[in-house]
Amino acid sequence: MKTKKGFMLRSVGGRHIVVAVGKASEEFNGLITLNDSGAFLWNALAEGCTYDELLQKMLDTYEVSEMTARAGIDQFLETARGAGLITDD
């Protein structure tokens, strides 16, 4: 999985937002606000990784159970896919 080209994570006033740039901004109007773990997941996906790699990164970084990490990742991926921000390539 990987973030799609044309979307960038920015930190503004202590908030994490994903914005469209270039041609992507012609099709995607608006922005998406992420919490700290969402920004962490975005950055991991920017490099490209599998679900299992994403899960391991979450478990290595945050003190959460595997079940909690999976639930957070699943929710993030569902939202990001629904907004057209990531690809499974």
Q: Give, in order, the Cα–Cα distances in Å from 54 to each of 7, 17, 22.
A: 19, 20, 28
Mean pLDDT of all residues in 1-6: 92
Instruction: State pLDDT tens for residues 29-74.
Output: 778 899 999 999 999 999 999 999 999 999 999 999 999 999 999 9
Cα separation, 78 vs 22, whole angstroms = 24
With bands split at pLDDT 50, 70 and 90, how would you rate the model's confidence at 8?
very high
- pTM score, whole prediction: 0.89
Percent share of the chain, pLDDT over 90:
69
Cα separation, 2 vs 43, whole angstroms = 10
